[in-house]
Copies of this chain bind each other. A is one copy, B any other.
Amino acid sequence: VARFTADSVVLVTGASGFLGRHLLERLLAEPCRIHAVNRRGAGPAGRRVFWHAAELRDAAAAAKLVAEIRPSHLLHAAWIATPGRFWSAPENLDWLEAALALARAFGEAGGRSFLGLGSCAEYDWRAPSFIEDDTPIRPATLYGKAKAALWAAVEAYAARYDFCAAWGRIFLPYGPGDSPRRLIPMVIEQLRRREPVLLTAATQERDFIFAPDAADLLVRLLAAHIPGAFNIATGRGTSVRCAVEYLADRMEGRSRLEFGAKTTLVEEPERLVGDTAKVKQLLGWTAPTTLEAGLDQMLAPAGVD
């Protein structure tokens, strides 16, 4: 398994997003040079991070940036992520096209290792399990279709330019810095305000992964230089109900939970839990943080914003 050296030049896109911030934090533990891009050209985790301003959906701007930085490693996390909207937003196609231009520029600049952020939404959600190289890719949503198309395209660019292409299919990340409009921060905030918490039946079982753990696995995969698709998951399923009840119990708000008061935006499957055998076998990795420990960190004052 390969590692980063002082000569490694890592470029992170979407670096001020939810996962992007955790990726930068985790990269600071590595000896590589770290470049980060967002529209402003500034962001957190200062010190060792070189920030760049670029609109990546402008193919020429993306290519120029990559040609300047000449990254050996590209961690491509930029995508539309507006809670609720992202499932069917037309911008999914802008980001698909932007990523193709980026993959080409990376290949032309002599890049060696590409890691893109995919999603469990690429899988056929009717499958009984989600195994990287076995479960059919049959995305139900525009978001899933665009992500699946990008991975297929990245495999083509990798063959053309002879770089290593890996793909992380993220399950349900949560943790510090998550959007206040996503489930767990929203529930915490409503419990804090002692408001009623309106929920779906919440019986669906999900693979919640603590964002710093997801970032740890992604950074290890990028360094390892192993091609292929990988679930970014814990392998453990928990019902949304169970996760929410844990929070409510910690905040003495169980009576404010109103299960069944809401309907879901997207027809989602009952069980969405990633198989983790591949990552365990290749990297010896298992998610270190239990759901309870992760939720506790979100309840700690410093972890909320």
Contact = CB atoms under 8 A, between A and B. Distances in A.
A96 B145 contact: no
Contacts of A96: 100, 153, 156
B160 A155 contact: no
Given A93-B160, A160-B90, A145 B152 contact: yes
A97 interface: yes
A129 to B, nearest CB: 16
Contact of A157 (B93, B100, B137, B159): B93
Interface string A61-79: 0000000000000000000
Given A97-B100, A100-B97, A100-B100, A92 B146 contact: no
A104 interface: yes
A198 interface: no
A148 interface: yes
B148 A160 contact: no
A156 B146 contact: yes
A156 B97 contact: no
Interface residues of A, number: 23
A92 B100 CA distance: 13
A149 interface: yes
Contacts of A136: 136
Interface string A150-164: 001101110110000
A142 interface: yes
Given A97-B100, A100-B97, A100-B100, A92 B156 contact: yes
Nearest to A141: B159
Contacts of A92: 156, 160
Given A97-B100, A100-B100, A104-B93, A152 B156 contact: no
Contacts of A104: 93, 97
A65 to B, nearest CB: 19
Contacts of A155: 145, 149
28 contacts: A90-B160, A92-B160, A93-B104, A93-B156, A93-B157, A93-B160, A96-B153, A96-B156, A97-B100, A100-B100, A136-B136, A137-B137, A137-B152, A141-B159, A142-B156, A142-B159, A142-B160, A145-B152, A145-B155, A145-B156, A145-B159, A146-B153, A148-B156, A149-B152, A149-B153, A149-B156, A152-B152, A153-B153
Contacts of A90: 160
Contacts of A88: 159
